[in-house]
């Protein structure tokens, strides 16, 4: 499968693209069942809601995930980290051959999975999850350029009630000043210029098997989960083969997996 010229143009213009029903429902169910088992037992490495709220920008950049601290055992898990090594089912999805030509198109060169970033099962647990504030992933990553794209798989329905992704179209092509971000590098909702831009936000309800591609500089966020069921999603990130991680940074600490065209 490859993108049409219209789809490719839309991705480059908006910074994101929806691929409806890309993954089979059976695969989504299998991934979700394994993920829920790991979540139940808090299998490390994980990130908790406690860590997400408390960590500074510098701490987030350095964290590799060590499990749940003894004093926050009852705090809900926000994400399972390093899922590529957790289970062969996770690994096979990240190495899916059908999506490789699409990733080659949007990156303009051979795609390579970076295991340093995302590589996660993302959750919004009912009643205990927190809001994901407006941010650009690239502000926490360290590469020679911004040719990175994330692949988000909805394992079940995602909507405004349980924390579906929201995007600001075209924000990956905009230049922002430091004052537009707060001390934790979130896009400030109190800054007047930002509020005007935030009004342009869009979101699309997702169904099981839907995939969303989005650029690493695209501003995005999600509400907390107000539903009674966990929202569980799978996300990993690919970069262009020539885009090197900067030595001495977290981005360079983990292996990479090249995705050759089938």
> 3-class SS at 178?
helix
pLDDT over 90 (residue 56) = no
Span 16-54, pLDDT tens digits: 999 999 999 999 999 999 999 999 999 999 998 877 776
Tally of structural domains, the chain: 1
Query: Residue 102 sits in which domain range?
Result: 5-258
pLDDT band at residue 71 using 50, 70 and 90 as cut-offs: very low
pLDDT for 164? 96
Span 80-102, pLDDT tens digits: 999 999 999 999 999 999 999 99
Residue with tokens 């049409």: 4
The answer to whether the beta carbons of residues 187 and 135 sit under 8 Å apart is: yes
CATH number reported for the structural domain that contains residue 235 in this entry? 2.60.120.620
pLDDT for 49? 84
Q: Name residues whose C-beta falls within 8 Å of residue 220's C-beta, 6 or more positions apart in sequence.
A: 16, 134, 135, 165, 166, 167, 168, 214
Residue among 193, 242, 183, 181 at smallest CA distance from 217: 181
**pTM recorded for the entire structure:** 0.92
């Amino acid at each position: 499968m490859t993108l049409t010229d219209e789809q490719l143009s839309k991705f480059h213009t908006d910074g994101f693209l929806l691929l409806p029903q890309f993954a089979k429902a059976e695969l989504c169910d299998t991934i979700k069942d394994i993920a829920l088992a790991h979540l139940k037992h808090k299998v490390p490495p994980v990130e908790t809601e406690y860590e997400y709220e408390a960590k500074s920008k510098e701490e987030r950049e350095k964290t590799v995930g060590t499990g749940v601290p003894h004093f926050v055992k009852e705090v809900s898990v926000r994400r399972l980290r390093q899922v590529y090594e957790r289970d062969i089912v996770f690994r096979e999805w990240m190495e899916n051959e059908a999506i490789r030509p699409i990733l080659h198109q949007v990156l303009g060169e051979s795609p390579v999975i970076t295991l340093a970033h995302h590589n996660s099962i993302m959750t919004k647990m009912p009643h205990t999850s927190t809001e994901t504030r407006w941010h650009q992933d690239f502000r926490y990553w360290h590469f020679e350029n911004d040719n990175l794209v994330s692949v988000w798989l909805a394992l079940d329905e995602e909507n405004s009630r349980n924390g579906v992704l929201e995007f600001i179209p075209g924000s990956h092509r905009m230049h922002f000043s430091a004052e537009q971000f707060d001390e934790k590098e979130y896009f400030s909702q109190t800054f007047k210029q930002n509020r005007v831009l935030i009004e342009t936000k869009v979101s699309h309800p997702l169904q099981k098997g839907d995939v969303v591609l989005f650029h690493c500089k695209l501003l995005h966020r999600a509400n907390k989960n107000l539903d009674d069921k966990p929202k569980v999603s799978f996300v990993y990130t690919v970069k262009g083969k020539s885009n090197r991680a900067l030595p001495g940074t977290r981005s360079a600490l983990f292996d990479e997996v090249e995705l050759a065209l089938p």
